[in-house]
Amino acid sequence: MVKTRKLNDFILSVVKSIFQDMVSMDTLIMKIMNFAPETRERRPRLALPRRQQEPTTVRQDFRHGQRV
């Protein structure tokens, strides 16, 4: 019940962020990325190197703080 409530509050917060005029996409992405470690031990992250045109996925193991 508490976990469901926490998830619902998070989703409501994200939806509010989407519809606010002044909120940038960076803020929305940061909210999602900050919520992810609380619910999972690993999260994929899209890395966009400046000299590379193809995006690559970087996985980080948060139990040890190392990239996988």
* H-type alpha helices, 1-68: 2-19, 25-39
Which of 8-12, 15-19, 24-28, 64-68 is most confident? 8-12
Range of the domain at 30: 2-67
Name the pTM for this structure. Answer: 0.35
Q: How far is CA 54 from the centre of its chain?
A: 20
Count of beta carbons in the 10 Å neighbourhood of residue 14: 13
Tokens of 4: 């469901």
The total domain count for the chain is 1
Q: Please, which pLDDT band fits residue 68 given cuts at 50, 70 and 90?
A: very low
- Give per-residue pLDDT as tens, 42-60: 555 666 566 655 555 555 5
Is the pLDDT at 10 greater than 90? The verdict is yes
Distance CA 35, CA 44 (A): 13
